[in-house]
Amino acid sequence: MTAHPERLQDSPDLDRSDRPLPQHVAFIMDGNGRWAKARGLPRTEGHRRGLEALRGAVRHAGKIGIDFLTFFSFSSENWSRPPTEVSFLMGLLKRFIERDLSELHEANTRVRVIGAREDLDPGILALLQKAETLTKDNTGLTVVIAFNYGSRDEIVRATRKLGARIAAGELSPEAIDEELFDRTLDTAGIPDPDLLVRTSGEIRISNFLLWQSAYTEFHFSPLNWPDFDAQAFDAALEDFCARDRRFGGLSVKVV
């Protein structure tokens, strides 16, 4: 495998190694609240600034030629936060889609949404569906929004879908293999993340992409998400490029 050296030209700080850039980078955008607290601001201001950081990451990925970005925006466990914060986060997603959708579409970006849809406000659901439908044939960067997402919940929902097909006599249990299970998850058709970045210094996965991250490389940044800029993104990519991904085999360097 070769790198995409032409794609690194826009990022002069990035080490030009002979390894490929990740095709898919997933982000656990953590630390918005702490970012705000450190500045004496309300947590909501941290979330607002976090959305700016997301926009920056999308722009940067577009420049350097990464194909898929996934953003953990609201977890199935985040409903346990105070109602005012939950409704702010719902409103922020709504405003993001309303304001950015046409720009994303013009930039040939495809939007995908993963997570449970049942509990969502019908207005938000309609917007998410509109974003997916409008951009489904775009061929540039794919932005995956993990909203009301929990990996265990996703796995249980997929299992139910397969169970229902077995009960209906359409599927035999023996026909279930990794490939079919993978295609039944919310992330069907999206390659597994090559790199997962979590900000804010927390070193845990918090119920994110458990199945999909079986062979993902992890990068933990001490920065809170609103401070995660192009330079920090490049540092994560550089870290990734230095990894030796063996997938259970032997290093390509070892003959």
Catalytic site positions? 30, 78
User: Which parts of the chain fold into alpha helices (H)?
Assistant: 32-38, 43-64, 83-106, 122-135, 151-167, 178-184, 230-241
Q: Applying CB under 6 A, does 15 fall inside the site for ligand IPE?
A: no
The listed partner (Mg ion, ligand IPE, none) that binds 232, CB under 5 to 8 Å by sort, is none
Q: How far is the CB of 96 from Mg ion (least distance, A)?
A: 19
Of 125, 142, 128, 5, nearest in space to 68 by CA? 142
Q: Applying CB under 5 A, does 72 fall inside the site for Mg ion?
A: no
Q: Applying CB under 5 A, does 30 fall inside the site for Mg ion?
A: yes
Nearer to Mg ion, 31 or 193 (CB): 31
Q: Applying CB under 6 A, does 32 fall inside the site for ligand IPE?
A: yes
Alpha-carbon span 229 to 7, nearest angstrom = 18
Q: What are phi and psi of 8, to 5 degrees?
A: -90, -5
Q: How far is the CB of 179 from ligand IPE (least distance, A)?
A: 28
Q: Which residues touch 10 (CB under 8 Å, ≥6 apart)?
A: 63, 64
Of 43, 21, 29, nearest in space to 198 by CA? 29
Residues 87-106 that bind ligand IPE (CB under 6 A): 89
Q: Applying CB under 6 A, does 75 fall inside the site for ligand IPE?
A: yes
Q: How far is the CB of 122 from ligand IPE (least distance, A)?
A: 21
Enumerate binding residues for ligand IPE (CB under 6 A): 28-34, 72-75, 78, 89, 200, 202, 204, 206
